[in-house]
Chain A
Amino acid sequence: MEGIKDKVAIVGMGCIKFGENWEQTIDDMIIDAVYEAYDDAGIGPDDIQAAWWGSVWAGETAQIAASPLKLGYIPFTHVENACATGSEALRGACYAVASGVVDVALAVGAEKLKDTGFMGLPQVRPIATWSYRVPSDTPPAEFAMMATGYFAKHGLSVEEGKKLLGQIAVKNHHNGSLNPKAHFQREITLEMVMNAPIVAYPLGLFDCCGVSDGAAAAIVTRADMAKRFRPDPIYIKAATICQGPREGFLSQNYDFAHVEETKRGAIAAYKEAGIRNPRGEISCAEVHDCFTITELTIYEDMQLSNPGQAREDIQAGTFALDGKLPINTDGGLKCFGHPVGASGLRMMYEVYKQLQGKADKRQVKNPRLGLTHNQGGAPGTATVSVVIAGNELG
C-alpha cells in the first residue's frame, strides 16, 4: 500500500463568501467558486478532465454542477458522505489523478440551505434504512450527548464544561472576525456564550455552528506537473476517510467523550503522511467545529493535545491564532456556518492559503504542514475525513 503522499498537488482553489446568500442561486455559488479556482490555477474549463461534485441536498447526479459550469461530456461524479461530503469530493479528484487516469481534476462542493424556510439542517427520509420507530433528535442533540459524556468522564460540572467549550467559540469567532469570507465576522465574549439560549442542553447558541449557503472548489493535478501551473503548489500528503460501523450506539464500550473515527482516521492519515509527532509537525489545522464539543474532543483524538491535556491547552491558548498550533484560523464552521457539501473544501481553502502565505491577517508563521478534519455523522456513528497538505515535497 503506497498511499497518496506527494502524488497529487492542489494548484487552484476558490471559495465564495459564506452566509445567507439570499440573492444567489446555487448555480451562482458554484460558478463563482469554480471560476475563482480556474483563475487561481491559470486554467479554463477545457482543461478539466474529470470532476467530483459534493452535495447532500442539492439534488441527484452531478448534473447540478455540470449544468451551470457547462462541463459536459467528461466524467462527473456526485458524492455524498454527510458533513464530510466536501472532503470526499476532493479525495475523489485526488485519487483519480494519483491513479494516472487523468492529469487535471476538479472538486467542487456547494449547498443552498437558507431556502428551506426553517432552522437547522433539512431532514431526509431514506427509503430502505429508515425506521419510523426511533427517538427524535436533531444534530445539536447528538453532539450535546458527547458534551454530557465528556463532562461526566472528566468530572466537570456543567458550568466548568461550558466555560471550557465557550473559550473555543470565542477563539473561532476572533479568527472569523479577521476573515471577509466568513458568514459571522463578529467577536464574541465568554459571557455572551454562557448567557446564550440553550439549543440542546448543555450546548447553547454559540456552541453550535450556523446554517449557511456556500461553495468552494479545488483543482488538482499530478505533483510532477504542478509547477507548470504555479510556483507554490500545495502537495497532498494524506487523504483518508474513516467510516465507523455505528458501534457507539450498539456497544457499551463507547464513552461518548471522544470520536473513535477521528482517532483512527487521524492515525491512518499520519501514517500515510509519515507524520510521527503531529503536535510538533502540524503548523495549522482546520477541524470540524460543528459544535464546540467536537473541536474539544478533536484536540486529543488527533493527538494535537497530549492525552488528557486538552483543557490545559485551551487555557494556555495553544490553539489560538498566536498559539503554538493555531486551529480553525479562518473562523471554522462556527463562523462560516455549515453548507454541508462545501465545508470540507472551504477548510482546505484556508489550509492552502496558509501554506502559500496568503492568509492575510490570519497568517500563521512559517507553516509547512496543514490538515483538515471534516466529520459526517455523529458521536457513536461518524464518517471522518482527514486530509494533510504541505508546501514542500518530501
Chain B
Amino acid sequence: MVGITSYGAYVPLYRLNRAEIGRAWDIPAAPGERAVANYDEDSLTMAVEAARDCVRGIDIESIDGLFFASTTSPYKDKQSAATIAMVLGMNRESVTMDFGGSLRCGTNALRAAVDAVRSGSANNILVIASEMRLGHPAGANEISFGDGAAAVLIGSKAAIAEIEGSHSIYEELQDFWRSDRDLFVRSAEDRFIVDVGYNKVVPAAVTGALKKFNLRSKDFSACVLYVPSQRQVGALVKKLGFDPKTQSKDTLFANIGDAGSAMPMMSLVQALEEAAAGNRIMLVAYGNGCDVFSLKISDAIARAKPEGRMGIAGFMASKKMLSNYNRYLRWRELVMVQPPARPPIEYRMPGPQALWKENEKELRLRGTKCKNCGTPQYPPQRVCVNCHAKDNFEYYLFSEKKANVFSFCHDHLMATINPPVTVAVLDFEGGGRMLMDMTDRDPAECKVGMPVDLTFRKLYYVAGIHNYWWKCRPAR
C-alpha cells in the first residue's frame, strides 16, 4: 500500500497585512494577510524547513529519494534537491530530482514519487514543494501571493494516507507564465483563464478521475482543490458536486496567500492534520493541465503525530506582522537603497573549491565530540579544546540540537539587506558553543538565555552564487 507516511510544512514567520500594500499604492487590496519569507529565505531554505518538519523522528537513512518542486528554484542550472539532501544528511545513493515549470510541479513530483515507490525503484521518497514567487509591485499577484512549503514522505509501509489512484490531463494554455527573462509572474486576462482554464480543465480532469477511481464526489470527506484564485476554488468545488462548506475548508489563501505549486501540498497537509481514519481526500491541482489524486486515510493517522511537528497549523499560528510594505520591497531587493559604506560583497565571493571541501561540516553542521572527555565542538577539532586529546573524536550533528543565547549584539555596521545584523553566541544543550547570525528576531526581544532553534538560511548572494548556511532564530 503506497501512500503518505509522514508530512510537514513551513510558513515563514512574517505576514504582511494586504491592506498595507493597498495603502502603499493607493489601490484596493484584498482582505487578509500574506506570508512573506524573510530576506534570507528562498524556496530552497523553506524546503529544508518543511523537510525537517516532515522527517522528525524518522531515520534519515531509510529515505532513498528526494524530489524538490518549485518554479522559483534558486538556480536555473544546479540541482536544489541535491543541496537539500546534503543538508538533511541523506544516503548518497538516493535519487534526487528537481521538478519545475508549472503550478502543477508539486503534484507532478508527488505522482512521480508514488509511481517510483509503487514500481519498487525506491522505498521512501521525500517530496517537497516550495515557492517564493514575485508578483509585479502594485499588482494583483503581489497582493494574492504568499510564500511557503510543504513536504510529504511517500513510502509503502505504515502509510497514514494511501494514494489509491492518480489521474492527469495536460493543457497547452498561456494562462500563467514567467519566461527565462522575467522576474515577475505574468498572467492572461482573468475571464479567459476562468472560462478556458479552470472551468474546462478541472471538471474534465475530475470527471475522468472519478470514472477511473470508480468513486463519486460524496465518497470524499474533503476536496483539496487548487486553482490560483480563492473565489474560483469555491465555485469549482460546488460545480464538481462537493459541498463547499463541509468538503472544502481551505484557509490558506486568506492567511498565507497563494503559494503556487506548494499550495496543493500545503492544503493537503492542512487536511491531513484534521483527517480521521477512514476519511477519503481528493487532491486536485491545476497548472497547464490538472493532477487528481484519491487518498484514503488509514488507522496509522492517529499514531503519526511526532512531538515537535509544527505542520501548517503550528506555523500558521506562529507569526509576526511586518510593520510596513517597504520592508517587503527591501527584502526582495525591489528598491535600490543607499549602499553601506563598507567593503563590497564581492570580497566574500565563495570559491566553489572551498564550499565543496566543507560541505559535510557546514551544510550538515557536523562538528566533533571528543571520545575522551565528551565535549562537543564546532567547527570540528582534531585536537580537543577541552582535554587536548588528538584525533580521538566522533562526528556530532549540531543541526538537531537546541541552544540558548549566551551573549548577542546587534551590528549596525555590517552590510546586510535587513539591518542590523544580530549575532549570537550559542550554548548548545548537551555541550558545544557556536557563533551564529540570528534571524526572524525582533531586536528588542533578544535576551541572554533565550532559547533558539537552528534554521538553514541564505547568508548572501554574490556573483551568481547563493551562499547558504545555518542561523538561529527565536524558538517558534
Q: How far is the CB of A340 from chain B (nearest CB, A)?
A: 16
When the two chains form their complex, are residues A133 and B385 in contact, meaning their CB atoms are under 8 A apart? no
Of A116, A119, A136, A380, the residue contacting B421 (CB under 8 A) is A136
1/0 contact string of A289-304 vs chain B (CB within 8 Å): 0000000000000000
Interface centre among B355, B411, B431 (most CB of A within 10 A): B411
Of B347, B358, B411, which contacts A137 at CB under 8 A? Answer: B411
Question: CA–CA, A319 to B377, complex, Å?
Answer: 40
CB of B412 within 8 A of CB of A122, answer: no
- Inter-chain contacts of B348 with A (CB < 8 A): 123, 125, 132
Q: A118-B343, A136-B414 are in contact. Are A145 and B409 (CB under 8 A)?
A: yes
**Is A131 engaged at the interface, CB distance under 8 Å to the other chain?**
yes
Count how many pairs of residues, one from A and one from B, have CB atoms less than 8 Å apart in the complex: 136
Distance between B357 CB and nearest chain A CB, rounded to angstroms: 9
Assuming A118-B341, A130-B354, is B407 touching A135 (CB within 8 A)?
Answer: no
Looking at chain B's contact residues, the main secondary structure is mixed
Asked if A201 and B420 make an inter-chain contact with CB atoms under 8 angstroms apart, the answer reads yes
Nearest CB in chain B: distance from A227 CB, A: 47
Interface string of A104-127 (1 = CB under 8 A from B): 000000000000111110110100
Q: How far is the CA of A49 from the CA of B436 in the complex (A)?
A: 48
B342 interface residue (CB < 8 Å to A): yes
Q: Residues of B contacting A331 with CB < 8 Å?
A: none
Per-residue 0/1 for B386-414: is the Cβ within 8 Å of any A Cβ (1 yes, 0 no)?
10000000000000000000111111111
Which of A116, A131, A147 has the most chain B CB atoms closer than 10 A to its own CB? A131
User: Which residues of chain B are within 8 angstroms of A30 by Cβ–Cβ distance?
Assistant: none
A140 is an interface residue with CB less than 8 A from chain B: yes
Whether A152 sits at the interface, judged by CB under 8 Å, is yes
Interface residue range, chain B: 35 or more
B468 with A135: CB separation less than 8 A? no
Asked whether B427 is an interface residue with its Cβ less than 8 Å from the other chain, the reply is yes
Cβ < 8 Å to A, chain B residues 326-364: 340-343, 347-348, 350-351, 354-355, 358, 362-363
Can you name the residue of chain A whose Cβ is closest to the Cβ of B377? Answer: A250
CA distance A132 to B468 in the complex (A): 9
Task: From known contacts A199-B413, A252-B427, A256-B406, infer whether A133 and B375 are also in contact, taking CB-CB under 8 Å.
Answer: no
Rounded to whole angstroms, the CA-CA distance of A249 and B379 in the bound complex is: 10
**Residues of chain A within 8 A of B358, CB atoms compared:** 131, 133
B154 to chain A, nearest CB (A): 31
Q: Least Cβ distance of A343 to chain B in Å?
A: 20
Asked whether A145 lies within 8 Å of B343 as measured between CB atoms, the reply is no
User: Per a CB cutoff under 8 Å, which of B351, B407, B468 touches A148?
Assistant: B407
Interface string of A271-308 (1 = CB under 8 A from B): 00000000000000000000000000000000000000
**Are B459 and A136 in contact, with the CB atoms below 8 A?**
yes
B406, B416, B436: most-surrounded residue (chain A CB, <10 A)? B406
Interface centre among B377, B379, B421, B423 (most CB of A within 10 A): B423
Question: Does A135 lie within 8 Å of B448, measured CB to CB?
Answer: no
Does B409 contact A251, Cβ atoms closer than 8 Å? no
**Per a CB cutoff under 8 Å, which of A146, A148, A198 touches B412?**
A198
Of all chain B residues, which has the CB nearest A128?
A: B354
Q: Which residue of B lies closest to A143 (CB)?
A: B409
Q: Which 9 A-B pairs have the closest CB atoms?
A: A144-B409, A133-B469, A141-B411, A201-B410, A132-B350, A149-B407, A133-B362, A250-B385, A152-B448
Residues of A within 8 A of B (CB): 116-120, 122-123, 125, 130-138, 140-141, 144-149, 152, 197-203, 245, 247, 249-252, 254, 256, 380
Interface of B with A (CB < 8 Å)?
A: 340-343, 347-348, 350-351, 354-355, 358, 362-363, 375, 377-379, 381, 385-386, 406-414, 416, 420-421, 423, 425, 427, 431-437, 443, 448, 459-460, 467-469, 471
A sample of 23 inter-chain contacts (CB < 8 A) reads A118-B341, A120-B342, A131-B354, A131-B379, A132-B354, A132-B459, A135-B471, A136-B421, A137-B411, A138-B411, A141-B413, A141-B423, A145-B408, A149-B448, A197-B412, A200-B412, A201-B409, A201-B412, A249-B434, A250-B377, A250-B385, A250-B433, A254-B433
